[in-house]
Amino acid sequence: MLKKLKEIVGDRWVITTEDKKLYGFDGLTAVKKEPEAVILPGNEEETIEVIRELIHNKKKIIIRGSGTSLSGATVPIEEDEYIVSLSRLNKVYSQKGFEIEVGPGIVNAMVTKNAPSHLFYAPDPASFQVSSIGGNISHDSGGIHVVKYGPTFNSVISLKVILPNGEVEEFYPTPYLNLSSLFIGAEGTLGAILRAKLRLFPKPLSKKTVIGIFNSIKDAGKAIISVFENGVIPSALELMDRNAIRAIEKSRYKAGIPDVEAILLIELDGHNIQVNEEESRVKRAIEENEGEVIIPTDDSRFWNARKGAFPAMGTISPAYITLDCNVLRSDLPNVLEFISSVAERYRVYIANVFHAGDGNLHPLISYDPDDFDSFMRAVRASDEIEKFVIEHGGVPSGEHGIGIEKIKYMNIYYNEKELEILKMIKNKFDPNNLFNPCKMFGGCEIKSKEIKVLWEWD
């Protein structure tokens, strides 16, 4: 089989040497396992041949892009799992009107760069400079501008995929159903994306950033609610707490942010008159909740600091778990206070930096990868937060996916009938359970002690 795969893609693009270790982990660095081999097809035709050959030999397949998944969605778990990396499928096929068709390996940032100057691609996760469109679709990634423009789901028009039976299908929207939606957030469990037609948006005529400085994280949470109660839908609304600010100011992303309990970064866009009116309403929302308003002359350094918050955590700890549970905006003040109590109880450093506009929390829970007790405390802290969020009407994942990290939360969030329907869809598409077989629902043999801690309740 390996000989056949090398004939398809060339010897260089089938990795069976020690280099395959580089594909044994992703953004969830707590779990590592070498794949059996890594295959990197160079185009659509090679991808189809490679996947059909693996299906014919009943091999377990993990589809991978840039490997930025924060939930472990592209990490092998069992023996004999093969990774098919689609990072070389980075072609732009066409661009017409408000649509652009691309390969799954193209980096998110390159979609806007290949669009006309008056248009842009809206979903922009913090990893937009490195994460690939295929991975964004597979996890329904959001980003800073999700509050106004929606997550990846809102920007996918149609998909070309190869299914677990080896057939290639193109799914377009119809008046009744768009089967593309099944693949958005499916984490590669239903097949592989070969091509995506995406929606572009007109660039706004005017943009303005308003910053709110707070000495109470609860007041910052109340101000978020007030922004919307004042009739404003910002294009971006981000929160960073004191722990996140301190990490940023110790790193190369430092922006001169004061050492306060919380900062809100609020971006407004649209027509000039609209933006000016919304600015006055946002100022009022901040000041009514004991906040100080700043209108920066150079807002880029603040947004760069926000986008650099995750890597900046390296100044605090060598590793961390990143949650992405979603809560109602009205619950943010109480949830943020609860997270603070969890940090104290489990003796872990938690920094909050997240998409406050849609209540998409990103607690960064630090741990020492060389200290298993430290890792366990971080996982138990994440369990407490996830359970609290779900019990208060939230969801376990807003954009990072289930992967390895959140499998145990599926039984809490979904009831038995809902899980039965999800599993039925998986079985109809992939009856032999070849595509990313251990993710979403688990069911695989656990050997790693890290996975056992992630999958099991205390």
Q: What is the pLDDT of residues 82-126, one digit of tens each?
A: 999 999 999 999 999 999 999 999 999 999 999 999 999 999 998
How far CA 367 is from CA of 151, 241, 321, 346, 440, in Å, comes to 30, 19, 8, 11, 25
- pLDDT tens digits for 293-344? 999 999 999 999 999 999 999 999 999 999 999 999 999 999 999 999 999 9
Q: Hey, what are 318's tokens?
A: 């060598």
Q: Residue 177 — very low, low, confident or very high, per pLDDT cuts 50/70/90? A: confident
How far CA 36 is from CA of 14, 60, 72, 441, in Å, comes to 11, 10, 17, 22
pLDDT over 90 at 173, yes or no: no
Domains detected in the chain: 2-85 (3.30.43.10), 92-202 (3.30.465.10), 204-309 (3.30.70.3450), 317-435+449-458 (3.30.70.2740)
Please give the radius of gyration of the chain, using alpha carbons only, rounded to the nearest integer: 22
Neighbour-count burial for 252-282, b at 16+ CB within 10 Å, e otherwise: ebbbebeebbbbbbbbbbbeeeebeebbebb
- pLDDT tens digits for 415-448? 999 999 999 999 999 999 999 999 999 888 888 8
| Helix (H) / strand (E) containing 93 | strand 92-96
Kind of pairing, strands 37-39 and 81-85? Answer: parallel
Question: Which residues on neighbouring strands pair with residue 202, listed in sequence order?
Answer: 119
What confidence score (pLDDT) does residue 4 get? 98
Cβ proximity of 187 and 274 under 8 Å: no
* Residues 284, 291: Cα–Cα separation, whole Å: 10
pLDDT over 90 at 235, yes or no: yes
What confidence score (pLDDT) does residue 263 get? 97
* Residues 192, 84: Cα–Cα separation, whole Å: 9
* Residues 189, 448: Cα–Cα separation, whole Å: 22
pLDDT over 90 at 178, yes or no: no
pLDDT over 80 at 458, yes or no: no
Q: Residue 251 — very low, low, confident or very high, per pLDDT cuts 50/70/90? A: very high
What confidence score (pLDDT) does residue 188 get? 97
What confidence score (pLDDT) does residue 445 get? 85
Q: Per-residue pLDDT averaged across 392-397, rounded?
A: 94
